[in-house]
Amino acid sequence: ILCVSGDVVKPGYYEFECGALTMGELIHNVCGGIRDGNRLKAVIPGGSSAKVLRAGEVYKFKQKGPDGAMVEIPMKLEDIPLDFDSLATAGSMAGSGGIIVMDHKRDMVECLANIAGFYAHESCGQCTPCREGVLWMKKILARISEGHGRGTDAELLKDVADKIAGRTICAFGEAAAWPVQSFLAKFKEEFNLRIRRNGTAAKKDIVSLIH
């Protein structure tokens, strides 16, 4: 069962056999395509803790060729089969099956700030790396989002996330850190732009970064 939300014409719950569809078939054939005729920018394939996958990026898969030898197969985001192994190979995970689709008008700084705010609220506070780290990620992202970003904020944000992952009692630490790590890896230029051009002008320039 997949829960599709975000910038699609027909969000909702859909049930399919694992691997029966590709990401593109789900978005365009089942969910009616991207809303308002916009372009696909990114997908979070397994709930908010799953690492974001960027449209336009080529993902490398290995499959057996006719002679039995392993060959490398390049795939676009839309071509990735919706199964556990394929999404893991692409660098993310199926997770809870909560697929979040984002179009080319989405501001990745705002998206990540929203996600970080959720994890800061939900942390139980038992582990110091998580308790302090999620609050600092929320604060740094709020600062960038509100137009007060500092030149070192992108690096600081990644450093905080790296110090949370693998250092907590439960998996919540990783769940909070992975979105930050992946958004910065996939969309670092947007974060740097917002920091360089603090304020509303930076938001207007986000569309020019779309690939």
Mean pLDDT of 32-55: 96
Which of 63, 81, 103 is the last residue in one of the domains?
Answer: 103
Which CATH number does the domain housing residue 28 bear?
3.10.20.600
The tens digit of pLDDT for each residue in 145-166 reads 999 999 999 999 999 999 998 8
C-alpha torsion angle, residues 50, 187, 7, 112 (rounded to 10): 60
CA distance 163 to 151: 20
The tens digit of pLDDT for each residue in 86-133 reads 999 999 999 999 999 999 999 999 999 999 999 999 999 999 999 999
List, edge to edge, every strand of the sheet that includes 40-44.
12-14, 2-6, 98-103, 40-44, 53-54
Both 192 and 125 in a single domain? yes
Task: Residue 43: give the domain boundaries.
Answer: 2-103
The tens digit of pLDDT for each residue in 58-74 reads 998 887 778 878 888 89
Which of 55, 83, 103 is the last residue in one of the domains?
Answer: 103
pLDDT category at 211 given cuts 50, 70, 90 is: very low
Q: What pTM value is reported for the model?
A: 0.87
The count of domains in the chain is 2
Q: Answer yes or no: are the C-beta atoms of 90 and 59 closer than 8 Å.
A: yes
Both 81 and 155 in a single domain? no
Both 76 and 142 in a single domain? no
CA distance 203 to 191: 10
Both 24 and 113 in a single domain? no
One-letter amino acid of 42 = A
Which of 52, 83, 103 is the last residue in one of the domains?
Answer: 103
